[in-house]
Structure 1
Amino acid sequence: MAKSKVIFYCKECGNETSKWQGQCPACKAWNTLEEAPSERIVAGKSVKTSVKVGDVTPTRYKDITTEKEVRTGTGMAELDRVLGGGIVAGSLVLVGGDPGIGKSTLLLQMCRNLSKEGKKVLYASGEESLKQIKMRGDRIGEFSDSLFLLSETNMTAVEMAIEKLEPEVVIVDSIQTMYEENIDAAPGSVSQVREITAVLLRIAKKNSISIFIVGHVTKEGNVAGPRMLEHMVDNVLYFEGDPSASYRILRAVKNRFGSTNEIGVFEMREMGLVEVPNPSEYMMQGKPVGEPGSVVACAIEGTRSFVIEVQALACNTYFNVPRRTAAGTDYNRVNLLLAVVEKRLGMQLSSYDIYVNVAGGLRITEPAMDLGIVAAVVSSFKGKAIPDDMVIFGEVGLVGEVRAVTQCEKRVVEAAKSGFKQCIMPMTNLENIQKSGQLKNSDIKLVGIRNIRELLNHI
């Protein structure tokens, strides 16, 4: 009679233990052990491997020839940018994001573009029926005959469909809904996710099929399931943004075939996701003119620079503890900057509610936004508007000093291209630009400051 041995798996690192514990002994994470039965063991019979000694032959390093990798364009320039230039044959890509952010819509649009080019694509969904997928696809546009749909949760059936159809690209939506019959565990469990990912990885490498996996995320923002899932795949893409806002950012967290310093910007519309090739132009739409509390900063996401509006509102509070709200940026960083302003500039903000917002629905957390937030708060507190043709960026320290930021030249070029005439930056960055001789022919006026007290003289 078959016996089943119970093993506990850590959903963060995949470590196995024979008994449940509150803390994982490997990664020291709390409450991450889940019970899952291991593979069935037949009593009285030894397990024999099908691999023979003669079948394993190591290859000499110098005998391996490398060819230039051929990438397939997805028909979406922003997605190609994040992937490193296109889809690599035989790659396994994990796409994660919050519910309703647009993961399935993005991949379905990619399938539409690939099928129009004659690529055979299989879209396997365990969450939607065929009619539901078609209803969503009709809003996107017309599809060619090269796209095939499959509504199935059995991984064995999906594998058989791949062998029969022999597609070039496969979409699995989502991996948490798939299950393997040989694993005695519920779909979405640690053992199921790990086994199915291993099966998909074998199919991708053996048949040179590009496979995209949709992964659900936890409330902390990580992909649900074992942490080793992200180690097994070739690419990990996160789709970020506020579902109530129109803009989305596709970010590469891991990329074995390219750089992780790239992002793609999309806008959600009725017909699906639309690429945003020039984010600065879209971010500045609707910006108020001559209003206190509105400041334009220049942010860097990956290797892309774009100007963005930072808003602040300071108003009298009627409570003993003033309210602090931050949307689109780090809440704790805003509190730190408010303390610096109150201490170094002598502004009594303890009797004011402070609201800070990054317009456009994007989340920007880089330190270069510090000086823009400070300028917005001071402008709203004093009721004086900052010039509309001015861009402000820089990192602010605890003693009020303005520190240098990275890729300053790229920020200035983006500001000048967007039509701004003045730029306030850290003095260290300005001195480096003057020494290098760059931006000599630029029409934008550069102003360097050493601390936030000097900022008051220019705004």
Structure 2
Amino acid sequence: MAKSSVQYVCSECGWSGPKWVGRCPECNQWGTVEEFHEARPSAGTRTAAPGRTSRTQSTIVPQTARAAARPITEVGTESVRRLATGFTEFDRVLGGGVVPGSVTLIAGEPGIGKSTLLLQTAGNIARQVASSGGTVLYISGEESQAQVRLRATRIDAVESNLLLASTTDLATALGLIEQNRPALAIVDSAQTIVSQEVDGISGGSTQVREVASALIDTAKTLDIPVFLVGHVTKDGSIAGPRTLEHLVDVVCQFEGDSETALRMLRAIKNRFGPTDEVGCFDMSGEGIEEVTDPAGLFLSEPGGDAAQPVEGTCVTFTLDGHRSLPIEVQALVTNSVLPTPRRAVNGVDSSRIAMLVAVLYRHGKLNLLANDLYISTIAGGQAKEPACDLAIVAALASAAQRTPIARTTCAIGEISLTGQVRPAPRMEHRLREAARLGFTVAVVPTPRKAIDIPGLKLVEVSTLADALNALGLSRH
């Protein structure tokens, strides 16, 4: 066995030192330094799964050969063949598919659908590689094989070449990966796997770092992609040391509201693609379904619908990665009977609402300071971008004056404290999406360059008063 050396590691920033300290000298956090044993056998000498013989060191590429330095001009530039997940949305977030030998960390709140997404992905890939004799390995440290089979049956992910294993021992998990050489390995989750080579409880910083390092070493050595499920703490950050996110190749956050079926997959870190992509999914009883066109998710009625307009509503367009999403803002204004008027918001920034109400009073001549205000979005949409300011103010003014805004009209723009309306980033991209959805009029600030979109009339405004006048909401 390799000689063990003891180090002390900070679970917040990853600082390490030979002695324990109460306060980390790097990030100045108290009580985050823990003991860490840095001994770990190599991938070729780890214990194999029960009943199987382990692979010898000779079957693995020697470390000296892998680490040999070569001139950069001799390094090949051929593209790596990626493995499709069966979900177009998932592939786009990953940058075009799964890269061989990569380690992807999928994090999210409990019950959000991480295991369901990965099990369904495992079933999709198992169907792809079945003709070539390939397999997919799903290792669960949280559920038994029978429990995973029940969920796989429900979501139609049962395949003969999808291998299931239930273990919490790191050596057993690595032995299964080395023996089967699957096309994809999924470990659910990093916080439940325990290494016998180091001290610490399951899910602790020491164990999580050891498990992640061992899986990354095996994935790079055998050129097998690994999906690793990670838990999150109550503040939303990934559990374990911060170095976990630095070690893996891709970090994806699976988000969603427990009250709605919409799920969003975001790439926080991606060595093989962009980090501003977002994938949309819908959670149902039959599993995860991708939403290729989420344009109508956050609207009560499509933009081109001739339905009767309703007071207190206005549509804007936000950017989420490369996508432009329509968001409908709804507002309700009532007389307050409380000493301090109520401000209830959902999907918008409450502190920005206070600022916009003050600007509306000072520069729009509309006094809502003594009214109860209720502002919300549709279906859990987020209108916290500054470009949503104009739509929020328009919805408030429409509700206060009981004057509806046409359903084919949208408003995009940021409002400053001086009452000026400022342009938003990538305005042309937002407006083209508005025209595609059937909107005919867009109230926008004067763009930095001329924009001409067929079928969409641009009403350019420079101040809040001009915007209210263009929407028919000016105070008389």
Q: Same fold (TM over 0.5)?
A: yes
- Secondary structure of the 1:423 match is strand
Report the CA distance shift for 1:338/1:54 in structure 2 as closer, same or farther (over 3 A).
closer
Shift of 1:6: 7.4
2:450 to 430, 433, 437: 433
The amino acid that maps onto 1:318 is: V
* Shift in alpha-carbon separation, 1:39–1:136, aligned structure 2, 3 A: same
Aligned with residue 372 of structure 1, among 391, 397, 401: 391
Aligned pair partner of 1:79 in 75, 85, 90: 90
TM-score calculated relative to the size of structure 2 = 0.87
Structure 1 CA distance, aligned partners of 2:286 and 2:420? Answer: 48
- Which letter does structure 2 place at the counterpart of 1:443? G
Counterpart AA for 2:20: K
Q: In the alignment, what sits opposite 1:341?
A: 360
Aligned-partner Cα distance in 2 for 1:379–1:103: 41
Number of the residue aligned with 1:47: none
In structure 2, how many angstroms separate the alpha carbons of the residues matched to 1:128 and 1:139?
16
Alpha-carbon distance between aligned partners in 1 of 2:4 and 2:181, rounded to the nearest angstrom: 36
Alpha-carbon distance, 1:286 to partner: 5.0
User: Structure 1: how far apart are the matches of 2:236 and 2:322?
Assistant: 23
Mapped to 2, the partners of 1:235 and 1:142 lie a distance apart of 24
For 1:339 and 1:188, the matched residues in 2 are separated by: 48
Cα distance in structure 1, aligned partners of 2:227 and 2:94: 12
Query: How is 1:204-223 mapped onto 2 (pairs within 5 angstroms)?
Result: 204-223=219-238
Matched, 1:445 2:457: yes
Query: 2:467 pairs with 434, 455, 459, which one?
Result: 455
Q: Give the match's secondary structure for 1:238.
A: strand
Question: Could you tell me how far apart the structure 2 residues matched to 1:25 and 1:377 are?
Answer: 50
Kept in 1: contact 2:317–2:325 (CA 8 A): yes
Encode CA deviations 1:316-343: one digit per residue, 9 max, x unaligned.
Answer: 2222222223222333223322232233
Give the direction of change, closer, same or farther, for the CA distance of 1:94–1:399 in structure 2 (3 Å limit): same
User: Offset of 1:27 from its aligned partner?
Assistant: 2.2
Q: Give the letter for the 1:35 counterpart.
A: E
SS of structure 2 residue aligned to 1:350: coil
Deviations 1:406-455 (A, max 9, x none): 1111111111111111111111x2x6124xxx42xx11111111121112
| Conserved? CA contact 1:12–1:32, under 8 Å | no
Question: For 1:297, what is the secondary structure of its paired residue?
Answer: strand
**C-alpha spacing 1:139/1:54, structure 2 compared with 1 (3 Å):** closer
Measure how far apart 1:88 and its partner are.
Answer: 0.7
Partners of 1:84 and 1:258 within 8 A in 2: yes
What is residue 192 of structure 1 aligned with on the other side? Answer: 207
Which whole-Å CA distance do the structure 1 matches of 2:267 and 2:67 have between them?
36
> Equivalent of 1:418, from 437, 443, 449?
437
- CA-CA distance at 1:249 after TM superposition: 1.1
Q: Give the match's secondary structure for 1:368.
A: helix
Give 1:132's match in structure 2, choosing from 144, 147, 150. Answer: 147
Cα distance in structure 1, aligned partners of 2:66 and 2:87: 43
Letter aligned with residue 290 of structure 2 = E
Q: Does the 8 Å contact 2:9/2:36 carry over to 1?
A: no
Residue identity opposite 1:347 in structure 2: L
Q: Gaps spanning 5+ residues in structure 1: where?
A: 42-49
Q: Which residue of 2 aligns with 1:46?
A: none
Q: Deviations over 1:19-47 (max 9, x none)?
A: 343x532123x346143353589xxxxxx
- In structure 2, the residue matched to 1:229 is 244
Alignment pair present for 1:390 and 2:409: yes
CA distance in 1, matches of 2:196, 2:308: 62
1:91 alignment partner, one of 62, 77, 102: 102
- Residues in 2 aligned to 1:378 and 1:356: alpha-carbon distance in whole angstroms: 12
Q: SS at the partner of 1:457? A: helix
What do the CA deviations read for 1:108-158 (whole angstroms, capped 9, x no partner)?
Answer: 111111111124111111111112212222221152211111111111110
Letter in 1 for 2:231: H
Answering whether residue 170 of structure 2 is matched by residue 155 of structure 1, we say yes
Distance 2:456 2:66 in 1: 68
**Corresponding residue number in structure 1 for 2:119:** 108
Distance 2:411 2:374 in 1: 19
For residues 64-106 of structure 1, the C-alpha deviation after alignment (integer angstroms, 9 at most, x for no partner) is: 2232111111110010110111111111111111111111111
Distance 1:132 1:53, change over 3 A: closer
Is the contact made by 1:328 and 1:363 (CA closer than 8 Å) also made in structure 2? yes
Letter in 2 for 1:71: R
User: Structure 2: how far apart are the matches of 1:123 and 1:156?
Assistant: 15
List alignment gaps of at least 5 residues for structure 2.
Answer: 41-56, 472-476
Q: How far, CA to CA, are the matches of 1:214 and 1:177 in structure 2?
A: 10
Equivalent of 1:242, from 231, 250, 257? 257
TM-superposed CA distance for 1:7, in Å, is 5.7
1:58 maps onto 2:44 in alignment? no
The one-letter code of the counterpart of 2:449 is N
Please name the residue that 1:11 is paired with.
11
Q: Is the 8 A contact 2:300 2:328 kept in 1?
A: no
TM-score calculated relative to the size of structure 1: 0.90
Distance 2:229 2:159 in 1: 23
CA contact (8 A) 1:116 1:143 kept: no
Change (3 A) 1:6 1:276: same
Could you say what secondary structure the match of 1:283 adopts? coil
Name 2:337's counterpart in structure 1: 318
Provide the rounded CA distance (Å) in 2 between the counterparts of 1:4 and 1:157: 21
Q: What is the match of residue 423 of structure 2?
A: 404
Asked if 1:169 is matched to 2:184, the reply is yes
Whether the 8 Å CA contact 1:120–1:167 is kept in 2: the answer is: yes
Q: 1:37 to 1:281 in 2, by over 3 A?
A: closer
Q: Which whole-Å CA distance do the structure 2 matches of 1:91 and 1:390 have between them?
A: 46
Q: Deviations over 1:186-242 (max 9, x none)?
A: 111111111111111111111111111111112222111111111111111111121
Separation in 2, partners of 1:35, 1:123:
31
Instruction: Give the corresponding residue for 2:25.
Output: 25
| d(CA) in 1 for partners of 2:384, 2:33 | 34
**SS of residue in 2 equivalent to 1:184:** coil
In 2 relative to 1, CA 452–70 (structure 1 residues): closer, same or farther, beyond 3 Å? same
The code of the aligned residue for 1:9 comes to V
Question: Which position in structure 1 is the counterpart of 2:269?
Answer: 254
